[in-house]
A and B are shown apart, each in its own frame.
Chain A
């Protein structure tokens, strides 16, 4: 919810930080291999994470224990997400399946397996009633639970990251042809296209800022690029570091950006921001 920050890495641990103070709050150990993605629940009581050990783990934040571990993916788990009530974990894996795990029951197998993708899932996002997946097969799939439909939008090049806009009307998809595309959620029409950054090999994140005015994306040249959402013009490129900017996240309400690059996480805020 903007107060905490989770990092995960190849040291098989997750770390919970207070990004505003820069303090490490807790370390969560229990994964067998690299942790590839982590997400916190909306009430900050639980963490889910997925790693190269093909397992999805559900953590208790306070105790630091693994509450549950879901095994079933055949490959590395690329991305995990909680649903709004933290009752379901949706995980996307390199085995081209998206699995929905039940946090409530003790069922070891997923509620549902979404195996429509033809290649690995690189990104998963959830809204109240939708599951948005981006796959390496170049498709953005949106599973609408309410209407019981699957919308599959063909982008072409492997999708690295997808996200909903805050108003829930648009879908932003970053692909490996160094392009971000803003698609209309309902019709699949292209609303905007943003280029300028470099994204050809890594799984990089893209974000929308807190007011849906700008589109941000990490780049392999060590910058974070921001475009104006409507005009599609490059608004800002933040030089973050030398290497690849691996991940970034925007504060849900404040103009505040978290950027992860080369083993460090930096917090960016607007110029006027005065740290306490």
Chain B
């Protein structure tokens, strides 16, 4: 520390990271380890250099392996460490070894013995490197008295020369001792010693007092690694010592002569005895090369047996086949001369071709009034299935037509309208409310854009008139009438065409009515008319919007392109003909602008033809990646087909039959297409028909836009269930989600509208909240639904409350729809929407996920329920309505999101 100079002002304390210590050369001094100061100096935690640690030399292992450098501890030490005051000073200092000139041999010997005993022999040898042994005074005195190291102390003795000849009877194992080291040679010298010569007494081995601190057995000594590792060279000693174990004492006594030698292993606790001659180098490390690494044919027959197989097999002359898995035959057994008869395998009975592995029950229906029709339908369809008629014609029939064919009376099921359930007073009130709200709506529609088609319109006279007015203008520019929305129902199509024609001519009101099927009841007629109107509108919208953009897909691969190249390679048909006519050239040649990558040009030594373009490849027309249009191209030609399939599905649903999954797949696909279409319709309408237009209910639109089946109760329910069970693939989801945001940005008109919408809806949600069902505030949709679902009419007050709302949740009870359930459904729909919108602003994102999840869930659930609910047909309301509520969520969600 710098001593403080008196009078000087105390400086600010230096922060820790700036407190640096430098060494003599001005470099940053590093401290060492925890014991010498901690690692904190120099560049903070960067191994002392600005750049930090870098590997000294990186050598790619691909080319050659980096040479394994053996690093000593010095390599990791700093040079300061090696200096005089470091951890490991390298300076030469005089050691006591040299001071004393002689080593203490006794100690050395003791150490040697200890070294044998010690687990790591040789470690003791380092002892005298580190701590030089000191020669005591006694030793020095002894030396002066003539004692030599290695001799015993005491009076000299006359020793009888000992012959150490190997006993001829005893076999000597192993090699003979190396001549220079063998004690025999010394003993031979002893033989010729004169009698009077005395010897110094044998050196006394200091008693080994090392305590037994291991858990080995008594007398056990660890494996000498030098022998174990260096195999053969050490084994000579091993053999020698163990073979002549009776001489151990002597050997130990004369250890001094074989000082250079290390004592070997004397224990017997090894797996291989010393006497086993043929055992080859057991301690040798075995390498991978000793093993088979390649699968190949070995000696014939050899590979068939495991390596543990007996050796006798070779001598035997049995056929290989018999021996394959037997190996050695047990005594007393012999191989059978003839093989047993092969076990006969009976094939499973072949299934009849039309067998279905699921049993289904013919529904035992109560012969109730409301079920009779369904039963009829079932019987009819079942009978038809057996006789297998042309399915198209059957499916093409609507329920009403079928009923007519069968000579049935009209359904006496639930009343066609919910209004019938109401008391006279309520009806009065409803009417009032409706009219009021309608006027309100009209007023609103005039001042601003029509709200998104969210609510069911009343197919009342005035709305129909509106349709007509609207359509008249549109149809004027509608071209050829090859658009056949009801192609599957020729009667209806005919009706529709005449309807359109008359519309074009400008007929109104009741004049149009005559084109409708007189056989149908009034409410159906009304419905049909609206359908026609809608179809006409759709035709106009879609034909103008689509026809300009798309041609019929000739090749599928042209369709699913996400980014549509600006220059499509044009018609292949023409080219084919050209090729056939061998008119190559202009006809078969397409030339595009193509932008090579800049780097590619550079590499090819070519000037970039488009130096200022950032495009690479063919210039593309940017389109929404997951645009609805991309899907529409697929679906366009199939619009007319959807109805048929839908009807088919409905038929099949009413058949109470386990459906094959394939059929559902089809319906899925169809559904997806339909969805996208209805998507598009709503979109196109909102764009095109910005004039007043009654909002169209989403759910109804779905049904009305493409399908025209007259909703009997069963069919209606089935349809709903079908909706629920279908789940558009992820692509479509993406398309909807992505495009919705894209659409927003693209059309500012819509945007403003959309911005308004959630705000109003939220406000409304707030206002209706207290009046609503008490538990609607709960975020749990399911709960809210089930609570309102106790009875069909219990939901009515809620709906009445909703009637008061100006536009969003207007009093759009669909009178045309016969079933009370549909009303319920709509109510629930509204509620769902409210609930959802309440949480929308916060967890829009979450909702999406949720919905996806829900969809997934519903798919399985819905299927399951379909079967179930159909088994006990329409009686099970709780179940089906439960699923219906989910339908609402699923059926609406894409549209909902689109509108956001």
Q: For window 562-593 of chain B, which residues contact chain A by CB distance below 8 Å? A: 565, 569, 572, 575-576, 578-579, 582-586, 588-593
Q: Does A24 lie at the interface of the complex (its beta carbon under 8 Å from any beta carbon of B)? A: no
Contacts of B590 in A (CB 8 A): 150-154
Q: Mark B646-667, 1 if CB is under 8 A from A, else 0.
A: 0000000000000000000000
Q: Does A87 lie at the interface of the complex (its beta carbon under 8 Å from any beta carbon of B)? A: yes
| Inter-subunit contact A146/B600 (CB<8 Å) | no
Give the A-B pair count, Cβ closer than 8 A. Answer: 120
Nearest-neighbour CB distance to chain A for B26, whole angstroms, equals: 40
Q: Does B605 lie at the interface of the complex (its beta carbon under 8 Å from any beta carbon of A)? A: yes
Interface pick from A4-12, A188-196, A214-222, A246-254: A188-196
- Contacts A145-B604, A150-B592 given; 10 further ones with Cβ under 8 A? A83-B603, A100-B600, A111-B603, A112-B596, A149-B591, A151-B589, A151-B590, A181-B584, A187-B585, A189-B584
Contacts of B616 in A (CB 8 A): 112
Q: Does B754 lie at the interface of the complex (its beta carbon under 8 Å from any beta carbon of A)? A: no
| Inter-subunit contact B579/A148 (CB<8 Å) | no
Q: For window 118-168 of chain A, which residues contact chain B by CB distance below 8 Å? A: 118, 128-129, 139, 143-156
Contacts of B585 in A (CB 8 A): 184, 187-190
Bound-state CA distance A115–B594 (Å) is 12
Out of B63, B572, B582, B609, which one reaches A65, CB within 8 Å? B63
Bound-state CA distance A273–B2 (Å) is 96
Out of B569, B579, B588, B596, which one reaches A143, CB within 8 Å? B596
| Inter-subunit contact A102/B603 (CB<8 Å) | yes
Nearest-neighbour CB distance to chain B for A135, whole angstroms, equals: 12
| Inter-subunit contact A155/B606 (CB<8 Å) | no
Q: For window 271-320 of chain B, which residues contact chain A by CB distance below 8 Å? A: none
Nearest-neighbour CB distance to chain B for A31, whole angstroms, equals: 15
Nearest-neighbour CB distance to chain A for B19, whole angstroms, equals: 43
Out of A113, A150, A156, A193, which one reaches B591, CB within 8 Å? A150
Bound-state CA distance A112–B616 (Å) is 8
| Inter-subunit contact A148/B593 (CB<8 Å) | yes
Q: Does A183 lie at the interface of the complex (its beta carbon under 8 Å from any beta carbon of B)? A: yes
Nearest-neighbour CB distance to chain B for A201, whole angstroms, equals: 20
A-B contact pairs, 15 of them (CB 8 A): A85-B603, A111-B597, A111-B600, A112-B617, A115-B617, A116-B618, A128-B606, A145-B600, A145-B601, A145-B604, A153-B584, A153-B588, A154-B579, A156-B576, A188-B589
Q: Does B557 lie at the interface of the complex (its beta carbon under 8 Å from any beta carbon of A)? A: yes
Out of A128, A147, A149, A156, which one reaches B579, CB within 8 Å? A156
Contacts of A146 in B (CB 8 A): 606-607, 609
Bound-state CA distance A149–B617 (Å) is 10
| Inter-subunit contact B609/A113 (CB<8 Å) | no
Q: Does B159 lie at the interface of the complex (its beta carbon under 8 Å from any beta carbon of A)? A: no
Closest to B609 in A: A148
Contacts of A151 in B (CB 8 A): 589-592
Closest to A107 in B: B599
Contacts of B605 in A (CB 8 A): 85, 128
Contacts of A111 in B (CB 8 A): 597, 599-600, 603
Q: For window 30-84 of chain B, which residues contact chain A by CB distance below 8 Å? A: 62-63
Max count, chain B CB within 10 A of own CB: residue among A83, A151, A154, A188: A154
| Inter-subunit contact A87/B607 (CB<8 Å) | no
Where the two chains meet, the residues of A that have a C-beta atom closer than 8 Å to any C-beta of B are: 63, 65-66, 83-85, 87-88, 100, 102, 104, 111-116, 118, 128-129, 139, 143-156, 181, 183-184, 187-190, 193
Contacts of B584 in A (CB 8 A): 153, 181, 183, 188-190
Bound-state CA distance A100–B597 (Å) is 10
Nearest-neighbour CB distance to chain B for A153, whole angstroms, equals: 5
Bound-state CA distance A153–B586 (Å) is 9
Max count, chain B CB within 10 A of own CB: residue among A66, A118, A139, A148: A148
Contacts of A152 in B (CB 8 A): 569, 589-592
| Inter-subunit contact A145/B589 (CB<8 Å) | no
Q: Does B610 lie at the interface of the complex (its beta carbon under 8 Å from any beta carbon of A)? A: yes
| Inter-subunit contact B575/A156 (CB<8 Å) | yes
Bound-state CA distance A128–B608 (Å) is 14
| Inter-subunit contact A113/B592 (CB<8 Å) | no
**6 closest A-B pairs (Cβ-Cβ)?**
A148-B609, A190-B584, A188-B589, A150-B594, A189-B585, A112-B597
Bound-state CA distance A183–B584 (Å) is 8
Closest to A137 in B: B557
Contacts of B606 in A (CB 8 A): 128-129, 145-146
| Inter-subunit contact B575/A129 (CB<8 Å) | no
Bound-state CA distance A146–B600 (Å) is 11
Contacts of A150 in B (CB 8 A): 590-594, 618
| Inter-subunit contact B604/A128 (CB<8 Å) | yes
Bound-state CA distance A87–B601 (Å) is 11
| Inter-subunit contact B593/A149 (CB<8 Å) | yes
Nearest-neighbour CB distance to chain B for A144, whole angstroms, equals: 8
Nearest-neighbour CB distance to chain B for A173, whole angstroms, equals: 10
Nearest-neighbour CB distance to chain B for A143, whole angstroms, equals: 6
Q: Does B839 lie at the interface of the complex (its beta carbon under 8 Å from any beta carbon of A)? A: no
Max count, chain A CB within 10 A of own CB: residue among B591, B604, B607, B610: B604
Q: Does B734 lie at the interface of the complex (its beta carbon under 8 Å from any beta carbon of A)? A: no
Q: Does B221 lie at the interface of the complex (its beta carbon under 8 Å from any beta carbon of A)? A: no
Contacts of A139 in B (CB 8 A): 569
Q: Does B595 lie at the interface of the complex (its beta carbon under 8 Å from any beta carbon of A)? A: yes
Contacts of B604 in A (CB 8 A): 83-84, 87-88, 128-129, 145
Nearest-neighbour CB distance to chain B for A117, whole angstroms, equals: 10
Closest to B561 in A: A118
| Inter-subunit contact B603/A88 (CB<8 Å) | yes
Bound-state CA distance A181–B579 (Å) is 11
